[in-house]
Structure 1
Amino acid sequence: MSKYLISFPSWAMVATGGELEAAGRESRAVIEEAKRAGVYVFAGGLDESVAPVSVSANGEVTDGGYPDGPVLDGGFAVFELPSREQAVMWASRLAKACRCRQELRVFMFDPAS
């Protein structure tokens, strides 16, 4: 089985008011179903009120992430699934619940995880 990252950037979530509340309820319902199915690893959104920092090998901390990298924000879910087809199905369900497209990526195999 592979682990899949299903995510969306903050700017993609355009729901507001009651629609945003419904999206939250529906996406949490999809996550609960994934837990019951035994495919849930973890999920959540990055706390955008806390700025990122960079930490070097010697422990030095500087404000900000990679200067040339994309902004990393939004919502994320990691599921462990038997196939890409299953990953697409769960990503589709989250896209419907969240009212925005989801990006699907697969983690490289790590025998220690």
Structure 2
Amino acid sequence: MTKYLISFPSDAMVVPDGELPAVSDASHAVVQEAKDAGVWVFGGGIDASVPPVMVDGDGTVTEGTYPQTTQLEGGYAVLELPSREAALEWAAKLAVACRCAQEVREFGYDPAS
């Protein structure tokens, strides 16, 4: 089976005042459904309060990220699924729960792992 990254940037999720608990409950329900189905690998959100750093091969650490990557935050789920169609179905469930469109990307197969 293939692993799929289903994600959204923080700015995409616009929730009216007072509705965040309902969105949280809905998204947790989809996560539980994925766990119950045995397709959940891992997921969560990037902590935007912790700034990213870049680490070079020599161990040098510098603040920031790649210049073309101004923001990398939001919610992520990695699911192991039998097909792209299944990934799109799960993405639709997450889109409803989170009230925003989800991006779907397929991880490449690494025969050495």
Bin for the TM-score computed over the shorter chain: over 0.9
For the aligned residues, what is the CA RMSD? 1.0
Write the letter of the residue equivalent to 1:2.
Answer: T
| Cα distance in 2 for residues equivalent to 1:34 and 1:112 | 27
* Cα displacement (A) at 1:21: 1.3
Partner of 2:62: 62
| Cα distance in 1 for residues equivalent to 2:55 and 2:92 | 35
Matched residue pairs, number? 113
Listed as ranges, the gaps of 5+ residues in structure 1 are none
Query: TM-score by structure 1 length?
Result: 0.95
Which consecutive aligned stretches of 4+ in structure 1 deviate over 3 angstroms post-superposition?
none
| Cα distance in 2 for residues equivalent to 1:111 and 1:38 | 22
Query: TM-score by structure 2 length?
Result: 0.95
Partner of 2:104: 104
Question: Match of 2:5, SS?
Answer: strand
Matched-pair identity in %: 61
| Cα distance in 1 for residues equivalent to 2:112 and 2:3 | 13
Partner of 1:28: 28
Listed as ranges, the gaps of 5+ residues in structure 2 are none
